[in-house]
Structure 1
Amino acid sequence: MQDLVTVFGGSGFIGTQTVRALAKRGLRIRVAVRQPHLAHTMRLMGDVGQVEVVQANIRDEASVRRALRGAQACINTVGILYETGRQKFDAVHVDGARNIAKAAHELGVTRLVQLSAIGADLESTSHYARSKAEGEAAVRQAHPDAVILRPSVVFGQGDGFYNKFAQMSVFSPVLPLIGDGETKFQPVFVSDLARAAAAAVTDETCAGKTFELGGPGIYSFREVLEQVLVQVERRRGLVRLPFPIASIIGKLCQPIAAVTPIAPPLTADQVELLKTDNVVDPALPGLAQLGVTSPITVEAILPTYLYRFRKGGQFADQIVPAA
């Protein structure tokens, strides 16, 4: 086995697939998570002894340094889509990213990959997007050779995008078409993103570069909702929800995260994100430059996990309608 790579947030949706991709390359992986007792299955991602799990909170500098000690590379996959408790955008995306980059530089961890997002912009009206941009700047200041990966919406089993609307279709007679429904997305399959991250952390020629990663298809928000309804086999109306009204609803939903462990269906900050297209900049390198030359399409993957929202779930095709 080769170098040791520390993956922060390695038990999350993106982190898990990143660990798997690194293991396939024969690397040793240290999975750094806040709650190690909930990540015991991560050791099964590789051969015996290839994957270890340690405790680390990226908001705590001492635990970050412990997780990086002895590593030659690291990947930060930690990110949040809404704020709750101590998990704030600035604390996670900016301070946490800075802690990792600073410690990595001081400990001689030569290769660092920071997961950001398309739309990261210091001038954005979205706090999420601003914090991602500030995090990029903090990482580059502390570790100039860091690689920045900006994915579009990430899809796959366990995602928080397609699953959200599919679940909504089960209980609601309508789905919200926020804004004009023309906001564009370029969804990237989580395994393709993971392969790209593994390539970025092992290829020294990637040092200091920024990549924007999107899949082979570009879809409007309306088309995304239509894709969901086709897969869940439900007829639901698409009701246009103007941005001002959506923002008010988002503000009313936000307290849900403060008092329960349930993700709010919408936040005002997410509404701000929907005002801007989420597609790659063709001027920046992308998946192909990281060796992912045949990215997986949305159409090929959605049926493998949205079936559970159909009437009858995986047995939907076996249900005989009543006479």
Structure 2
Amino acid sequence: MGQRLCIIGGSGFVGRAIAQQAVQAGHRVTVACRHPVRARGQLVDGVSLVRADVTDGYGVDAAVAGMDVVINLVGLLFEKGSQNFQAAHVKGTARVIASCKAAGVKQLLHMSALGAGQIEGSSYARTKGEAEQLVSASGLNFTIFRPSIIYGAGDSFFNKFKAMSQSMPVLPVISGETRFQPVWVQDVARAFIDSIGNRHVNGATFELGGPKSYSFRELLELLLKELDIKRTLIPVPGLAASLMAAFTQVLPTPPITRDQLILLGRDSVIEGEPFPALFGQPAALEDVLPTYICGNCADTKQQEWDQMRSRYRKGGV
């Protein structure tokens, strides 16, 4: 029987994938976000949209009332005004926990990040770690997920550098030797959906990564190969990168901030099993990237997503 599920902060890239799989699994899905009108055209059929903002608490109690399961996906890539890491990650998580307790929610699934609480000098990592501590001490049936870079159709990683490569003859490379273990958004979504109502994941923290790790430079080279274009990769020295971040982080959508620069200096890889076996096998980046990064494959994108999910779900290859 399907669960009543609320995805808080679910209007973005990861939330859409989770909502899609949740509906397919027969759950009744509500997405709570700050701007539901803007998100209306981005979600799948069968999903209800409500307005809620964890930074000031607006609508959170109402969003989780009557729910069996709550998924907290709220996370900022950069700070802007009142939307800062402390307000969104820490105070926001505390509000979600309080609302879940008041509503008698059976299960809380919480999105964190690889390296949470472990990267000195990063406010993002520090507040993600503090949020994990709140969840662990909440007394709720909880599960925490820590992914590496999440990629897939609509991502902000490969698509960002694709756009840069199409407008620039060279690509700047900051911390080119830092290693990442990209994980497909559909695999991340499957981990969340397979956890719903699963008592075996209560109290657990799972790290999510793909089957291989790559240096930042190797990821850019793979992207350029798939796009079939040649660009010169120019290493950016640390001082130049710091100056760039200082000047650009005041932009409405900064290409890089000082906090992101700190994160770029730290490997984001899994120690041990790259992806929990109970959620199936993670897709290979080389298999998935060609299905969405080319500009002329939009018509077959959904079909290829479905084929990839079928191939890599539990009991597949």
Q: TM-score, normalised by structure 1?
A: 0.87
Deviates more, 1:224-233 or 1:68-77: 224-233
Cα shift at 1:52: 1.5
Q: 1:275 aligns with which of 257, 262, 265?
A: 265
Q: Is the 8 A contact 2:119 2:263 kept in 1?
A: no
Cα shift at 1:169: 0.8
Residue pairs, 1:193-208, within 5 angstroms? 193-208=188-203
The CA distance in 2 between the partners of 1:208 and 1:314, in whole Å, is 41
Q: 1:157 aligns with which of 153, 158, 171?
A: 153
Aligned twin of 1:191? 186
Aligned twin of 1:215? 210
Residue pairs, 1:70-81, within 5 angstroms? 70-81=66-77
Q: 1:69 aligns with which of 65, 71, 88?
A: 65
Aligned twin of 1:14? 14
Equivalent position SS for 1:148? strand
AA matched with 2:38: L
Computed over aligned residues only, the root mean square deviation of the Cα atoms, in angstroms, reads: 1.9
The CA distance in 1 between the partners of 2:246 and 2:139, in whole Å, is 37
The CA distance in 1 between the partners of 2:125 and 2:186, in whole Å, is 23
Which 5+ residue runs of structure 2 have no aligned equivalent? 299-317
Q: 2:255 aligns with which of 265, 273, 287?
A: 265
AA matched with 1:39: A
Cα shift at 1:39: 2.6
Deviations 1:54-81 (A, max 9, x none): 1111123351110000001110112111
Q: Does 1:240 align with 2:231?
A: no
AA matched with 1:53: L
Aligned twin of 1:28? 28
Equivalent position SS for 1:255? coil
Q: Is the 8 A contact 1:248 1:268 kept in 2?
A: no
Q: 1:288 aligns with which of 269, 277, 299?
A: 277
Residue pairs, 1:53-64, within 5 angstroms? 53-64=49-60
Q: 1:302 aligns with which of 271, 289, 295?
A: 289
Q: Could you say if the C-alpha distance between residues 182 and 63 of structure 1 is closer, same or farther in structure 2, counting changes exceeding 3 Å?
A: same
Deviations 1:117-172 (A, max 9, x none): 00111552211111111111122223453211000000011111111111111122
Q: Does 1:167 align with 2:163?
A: yes
Equivalent position SS for 2:196? helix
Equivalent position SS for 1:147? strand
The CA distance in 1 between the partners of 2:5 and 2:38, in whole Å, is 20
AA matched with 1:25: A
Q: Is the 8 A contact 1:192 1:295 kept in 2?
A: yes
Q: Is the 8 A contact 1:74 1:201 kept in 2?
A: no
The CA distance in 1 between the partners of 2:281 and 2:78, in whole Å, is 32
Q: Is the 8 A contact 1:189 1:296 kept in 2?
A: yes
Q: Does 1:105 align with 2:101?
A: yes
Aligned twin of 1:138? 134
Q: Could you say if the C-alpha distance between residues 45 and 218 of structure 1 is closer, same or farther in structure 2, counting changes exceeding 3 Å?
A: farther
Q: 1:254 aligns with which of 249, 253, 278?
A: 249
The CA distance in 2 between the partners of 1:188 and 1:122, in whole Å, is 20
Q: Is the 8 A contact 1:122 1:134 kept in 2?
A: no
Cα shift at 1:275: 1.1
Cα shift at 1:31: 1.0
Cα shift at 1:232: 1.9
Deviates more, 1:125-134 or 1:111-120: 125-134
The CA distance in 1 between the partners of 2:136 and 2:60, in whole Å, is 18
Q: Is the 8 A contact 1:42 1:53 kept in 2?
A: no
Q: Does 1:182 align with 2:177?
A: yes
Q: Is the 8 A contact 2:112 2:132 kept in 1?
A: yes
The CA distance in 2 between the partners of 1:184 and 1:45, in whole Å, is 38
AA matched with 1:148: I
Q: 1:148 aligns with which of 136, 144, 149?
A: 144
Equivalent position SS for 2:5? strand
Q: Is the 8 A contact 2:173 2:236 kept in 1?
A: yes
The CA distance in 1 between the partners of 2:233 and 2:90, in whole Å, is 37
The CA distance in 2 between the partners of 1:237 and 1:24, in whole Å, is 43
The CA distance in 1 between the partners of 2:28 and 2:140, in whole Å, is 24
Among all aligned residue pairs of Structure 1 and Structure 2, give the percentage whose two residues are the same amino acid.
40
Deviates more, 1:186-195 or 1:139-148: 139-148
The CA distance in 2 between the partners of 1:220 and 1:43, in whole Å, is 33
